[in-house]
Amino acid sequence: MGMKTDMRLIDDNGLRIDGRLPNQLRPIKMQVGVLKRADGSAYIEWGGNKIITAVYGPHEAYPKHMQDPNRAVVRARYNMASFSVDERKRPGPDRRSVELSKVISEALTSVIFGDKFPRTSIEVYIEVLQADAGTRVAGITAASLALADAGIPMRDIIVGCAAGKVDGVVVLDLNKEEDNYGEADVPMAILPRTGEIALLQMDGNMTYEELTAAMDMITEAAKKIHQMQVDTLKSKYRGDEDVE
Ligand code: ADP
């Protein structure tokens, strides 16, 4: 973010380096029930991102001191595979993945009816196989599909999506180059039914007006992504192909 470069990110026609319009999403493909041994699972391809998510639980939380007598404890683990980025990433948790795991856990907790499962834990694994910017929001989108696939009762299916600013233009769903050389990135997770925001972060600089424009763009796109989630879940039970 914010690295100075001569690279132009918006051309004379107002198009982005991958040919998209400012308010256009990258192509998204989703699939649920991709893993046999997990209670719920989902796979998402979102632009250059490839992410698999799996849910275990609810089951008795262990060790016991992790138990909450009133509700399920939701523990998300965001992990990037060593081969998911250009230079081999050192395996295991780092500061970034620990922080992402925490904020994703909190976002998912906010929609799960956890009080139905006291003393249990629900583990959510987010494995990034290929990263191309926007992995936390694609991960959240897939994780909520995996939770639904596991039959865990939720108020809503969370949608994650980012927007930001490149070459002075507010754009939806930044790709890697835009994330690297752009001015701002705003990842957000939203509950489409109520419009509540479950996660909001910002990296870089933008004005208040630009930030609200970015949030409006995300809110609009979230409706589309949510429809894809619903179609994906329905198609599993009809035995259709992946949803694109
Ligand atoms: P997000 O993936 O949610 O946008 P960041 O803004 O932190 O999260 O990262 C943007 C992109 O930068 C990632 O999607 C990935 O392509 C790349 N990236 C993140 N961490 C690393 C890393 N340790 N090594 C190489 N590339 C990384």
Per residue in 130-172, pLDDT (tens digit) is 999 999 999 999 999 999 999 999 999 999 999 999 999 999 9
| Residue 58 near ligand 1, beta carbon < 6 Å | no
pLDDT score of 243 = 64
CA dihedral (129, 131, 135, 138) in degrees, to 10, reads -60
pLDDT score of 239 = 72
pTM: 0.96
pLDDT > 80? residue 244: no
Q: What mean pLDDT do residues 28-37 have?
A: 98
pLDDT score of 236 = 86
Give the HSE-up count for residue 63: Cα atoms under 13 Å, Cβ half-sphere.
1
pLDDT > 70? residue 99: yes
CA distance 53 to 145: 9
pLDDT > 70? residue 2: no
pLDDT in tens, 15-26: 999 999 999 999
Q: Grade residue 5 by pLDDT with cuts at 50, 70 and 90.
A: low
pLDDT > 90? residue 242: no
Q: What mean pLDDT do residues 194-203 have?
A: 96
| Residue 179 near ligand 1, beta carbon < 6 Å | yes
| Residue 35 near ligand 1, beta carbon < 6 Å | no
pLDDT score of 237 = 78
Distance 135 CA to ligand 1 centre (A): 7
Specify the residue with its C-alpha closest to ligand 1, atom 27: 85
Distance 181 CA to ligand 1 centre (A): 13
Q: Grade residue 7 by pLDDT with cuts at 50, 70 and 90.
A: confident
pLDDT score of 4 = 57
Amino acid present at 97 = S
| Residue 114 near ligand 1, beta carbon < 6 Å | no
| Residue 75 near ligand 1, beta carbon < 6 Å | no
Give the 3-state secondary structure of the chain: CCCCCCCCCECCCCCECCCCCCCCCCCEEEEECCCCCCCEEEEEEECCEEEEEEEEEEEECCCHHHCECCECEEEEEEEECHHHCCCCCCCCCCHHHHHHHHHHHHHHHCCECHHHCCCEEEEEEEEEEECCCCHHHHHHHHHHHHHHHCCCCECCCCEEEEEEEECCEEEECCCHHHHHHCCEEEEEEECCCCCCEEEECCEECCCHHHHHHHHHHHHHHHHHHHHHHHHHHHHHHHCCCCEC
Q: What mean pLDDT do residues 162-184 have?
A: 97
Percentage of the chain modeled with pLDDT above 70: 96
Domain boundaries, the chain: 28-228
Architecture of domain 28-228: 2-Layer Sandwich (3.30)
Report the atom number in ligand 1 closest to the C-alpha of 94: 23
Q: What mean pLDDT do residues 49-63 have?
A: 96
Report the atom number in ligand 1 closest to the C-alpha of 187: 3
pLDDT > 90? residue 181: yes
Report the atom number in ligand 1 closest to the C-alpha of 100: 3
Distance 203 CA to ligand 1 centre (A): 12
pLDDT > 90? residue 84: yes
